[in-house]
Amino acid sequence: MLSWISVISAWSIPIMVAFIPLYAYTRKVPVYESFVEGAKDGFSTAIGIIPHLVGMMVAISVFRSSGALEFFVGWTGPFLQSLGVPGEILPLGLLRPLTGTGSLAYTTELIRAYGPDSMIGRIASTIQGSTDTTLYVLTVYFGAVGIRNGRYALKVGLFSDLVGFIAAIAVCLLVFG
Amino acid sequence: MINMIWMGMILIGFGFAAVNGNIDAVTKAVFDGAQTGVTVSFGLISILVFWLGMMRIAEDSGLLKKVAVMLGPVVRFLFPDVPKDHPAIGYILSNMSANLFGLGNAATPMGIKAMQELQKLNPDKDTATPAMCTLLALNTASITLIPTTLIAIRLNYESANPAEIVGTTLLATAIATAAAILADRWYRRRTIRRKQPSGIGAGRNPDMKG
């Protein structure tokens, strides 16, 4: 099963890159012109995201470097510990929805410090892999089309992060415990 | 809510730095954060330009429409208010399958393209439609079959079985995605229900904005 999935992962992009133009060519589409025409939008889309990402990254950066994040982490750690969950895991729950690079760095640090096959290493890997960075996804996707009012999207994203976090811990404790 | 979170992070950060006496960190963090924002956006240029070009070929050739028809039932369940053969469906599907195989840098351009197509159906360009919220929910939970980055890191630190977390990750991500879909459904229903009475009884509540 696993090798099957990794084969698909390795082959899917090359196959798409080869198959899409070939299919279009047989349908008499001017493939290169069509590519250039679509690619033109890429630059302006990326540039349009800049204000959204700068705003969000500044807020996250201030929150993190001021020591505020660390404080909340230290304050909630003992609570988790009393439930039989390693307290070191908690920062990941706070970092994961906010910053992809930050949480990946923290996960790597946990794996380095406790070992990949420790319970902490396994839980951290599972949490890191099971959800995406909500705030980043929201900023980029809504920023690209100029949506200002995201309605309930953020609440849904954060709720699923919380569920994913709890599920990752519970599943790991059950499977590896 | 996004306004509160954004301002809250800045103000709480400011407060902490002021009390801890490291206000310099805030200044540095502001410029570092701004730089990260620009760097990440610039990093998106190359993949966006390439994939949007590729996807245009797929669209022009009718391939996107074909895929949309094939996998229609799943998408119709998740996105009931998007017309059956709208190009958005094809992009949504490409986005979902790219996520599934952990192809993050292909998933983002397709998701953005799907958003742009959904925006064409949107009567109020500033406010997200329910379909947009569903697409976002699917992407924040991002169901993944194989967490390639994590396996690579574990391998790097000499794990005896780097792939042993594939099963736990799959289970956790499935639960998170199910939670996202359920929550999205719940909010969507609530929004629709709220809209109806405000339409009928609009006269009674002059202060309420639909």
Decide if A18 is inside a domain: no
pLDDT score of B15: 94
The pLDDT of residue A159 is above 90: yes
pLDDT at B17: 93
* For range A90-107, the mean pLDDT: 81
| Average pLDDT of the residues of chain A | 85
Residue B146 tokens read as: 């194989």
Please give the backbone phi and psi of residue A115, each rounded to the nearest 5 degrees, phi first: 90, 140
Q: How many domains does chain A have?
A: 1
In the DSSP assignment, the letter for residue A28 is: T
pLDDT of residue A60: 83
The whole-number pLDDT of residue A2 equals 54
- CB-based contact, A130 to chain B, within 8 Å: yes
B 76-115 near A (Cβ less than 8 A): 101-103, 106, 108-109, 111-112, 115
pLDDT of residue A1: 53
The DSSP call for residue A89 is: G
A15 touches chain B (CB under 8 A): no
Mean pLDDT, rounded, for A106-119: 88
What does the pLDDT read at residue B67?
74
Cβ within 8 Å, pair B187-A46: no
Is residue A60 in a domain? yes
- Answer whether residue A140 is part of any domain: yes
CA distance B162 to A154: 33
Q: Is residue A16 part of a domain?
A: no
Query: For residue range B66-89, what is the model confidence (pLDDT) as tens digits?
Result: 777 777 788 888 898 888 778 888
Q: Which residues of B touch A37 (CB under 8 A)?
A: 53, 56
The alpha carbon of residue A63 is apart from the nearest alpha carbon of chain B, in Å, by: 4
Strands (E), chain A: none
Residue B206 pLDDT: 40
Residue A160 lies in a domain: yes
Radius of gyration of chain B (CA): 21
- pLDDT reading at A103 higher than 70: yes
Q: From first to last of the 210 residues of chain B, give the pLDDT tens digit.
A: 678 888 988 999 999 999 988 899 999 999 998 998 898 888 878 888 888 888 889 888 888 777 777 777 888 888 988 887 788 888 898 888 777 766 666 788 889 999 999 999 999 989 999 999 999 999 988 777 777 778 878 888 888 888 888 888 889 999 999 999 999 999 988 877 776 554 444 444 444 333
Closest CA to A24 of B62, B67, B61, B53: B61
Q: Would the CB atoms of A59 and B9 count as touching at under 8 Å? A: yes
Read off the pTM.
Answer: 0.78
Tokens representing B5?
Answer: 């979170």
Instruction: Find the mean pLDDT for residues A24-50.
Output: 90
What pLDDT score was predicted for residue B19?
Answer: 92
Task: With cut-offs at 50, 70 and 90, classify the pLDDT of residue A167.
Answer: very high
On whether any CB of chain A is under 8 Å from the CB of B154, the answer is yes
Residue A28 forms part of a structural domain: no
| A70 located within any domain | yes
CB contact A175 to B (< 8 Å): yes
Domain extent, residue A159, equals 49-176
- Which pLDDT score, from 0 to 100, does residue B208 have? 39
Two tokens at B143?
A: 């169901």
Q: What is the complex's ipTM, to 2 decimals?
A: 0.78
Q: Give contacts of A89 with chain B, Cβ < 8 Å.
A: none
A29 pLDDT band, cuts 50/70/90, is very high
Residue A86 within any structural domain of the chain: yes
Element of type H or E holding B8: helix B2-20
Q: In angstroms, what separates the C-alpha of A123 from chain B's closest C-alpha?
A: 8
- How close A82 comes to chain B (CA, Å)? 22
The residues in A 66-125 lying below 8 A from B, measured between CB atoms, are 66-68, 71, 97, 104, 107-108, 111-112, 115-117, 121-122, 125
